Amino acid sequence: MEVNTTSDDVPRAGWRVMLVTGASGFIGGAVIARAMRDPELRVKGAMRRAGLSLVQGAEVTLVRDLARDTDWKEALSGADVVVHTAARVHVMRDPSIDPLTEFRRVNVAGTLNLATQAAAAGARRFVFISSIKANGEQTLPGSPYSAADVPAPVDPYGISKLEAEQGLRDLSRECGMEVVIIRPVLVYGPGVGGNFRAIMRVVSRGIPLPLGAIHNRRSLVSLDNLVDLIMTCVHYPRAAGGTFFASDGEDLSTTELLRRIAAAMARPARLIPVPERVLWTAARLLGKTDVAQRLLGSLQVDITQTRTLLGWTPPVSVDASLERTTRHFLTGR
């Protein structure tokens, strides 16, 4: 199914060449595929592995790593705008002895090296895919993060993303290259992995879950909606200098999300209404409070500024996005 997005309707900054880093990744590959439909853009991708169908037709440059000494000259040649999706991503069980140092090496030093070379090569805009973790890990239900909030990251990944944002703003003030920052919440879509895929697997097998009475609120963003926002930030002149939250604009409880996933799969939702306090207690006893926080806690964002400054509305509904995601999970299409 072709997804029609709205970003073709926004004012255009007039870029001719766009470089996407992390072109083999979940987000980067989708940005490449979307940008390839834009007849006014020449699309380039940078990635560590070749031969992936998502970037078929794009000009691909292989880079060995995202590090402070990586040479980006070939990839940046002619680029007017850079969309930086490559990163050392958040992992649940990080094997590193010093995770913060490793995140800083890639997400801070590597990003600033790329941005510095981009500015020197003549790129005029740098779109950085950050994370809501730059703000923090949780909100109270009904009290979403807003553009006015002071970021307070907790884990090494979130700290590294915020430090990269700060470094990019400093660089922008020094050299004049426009910087746009996007902070997505949990991203899902066809081909999603991690916890979201694990949830779909459990629902598809009809395994009963004790999550039938959860009243938290969590923001999500579908891959289609995130890519549409990224392309809006690529083109729209008023995006320069902004920091934008990305979500579907509809927040769900864990219970409601599971029910909607089940409905999209045409499966029964086997949810047992166990009180939240019982689940929290069990999680503490088992040393699984991190898991409980993701399933029972709230994490919301307010996208009012994104809507207002960019004139942007998420073009794809939650239900339509879940239908596409679950269909791909079940059928591979």
Degrees (nearest 5) of the Cα angle 67, 68, 74?
Answer: 75
Chain CA centroid to CA 250, Å: 16
Residues 6+ apart with CB under 8 A from 50: 60, 62
* DSSP letter assigned to residue 248: -
Q: How far is CA 170 from CA 165, 296, 306, 314, in A?
A: 9, 37, 22, 30
> Active-site residue among 145, 157, 188, 236?
157
Q: Which two tokens stand for residue 118?
A: 């981009």
C-beta separation of 222 from 188 below 8 A: yes
- Please name every residue paired with 179 in a beta bridge, in sequence order, or none if there are none: 126
List, as one string, the DSSP characters of 249-289. Answer: S--B-HHHHHHHHHHHHT----B----HHHHHHHHHHHT-H
What is the three-class DSSP state of 180? Answer: strand
Q: Counting beta carbons within 10 angstroms of the beta carbon of residue 169, is it exposed (0 to 12), middle (13 to 18) or buried (19 or more)? A: middle
Q: Which two tokens stand for residue 167?
A: 């470094």
Helix runs in 2-124, H state only: 26-35, 73-76, 99-103, 111-121
157 in catalytic set: yes
Q: Which residue has the tokens 């766009």?
A: 18
Total Cβ atoms within 10 A of residue 207? 9
What is the three-class DSSP state of 45? Answer: strand
Q: Give the separation between CA 300 and CA 185, rounded to whole angstroms.
A: 8
Please say whether the dihedral angle defined by the alpha carbons of residues 77, 81, 85 and 88, taken in this order, is positive or negative.
Answer: positive
Catalytic residues: 157
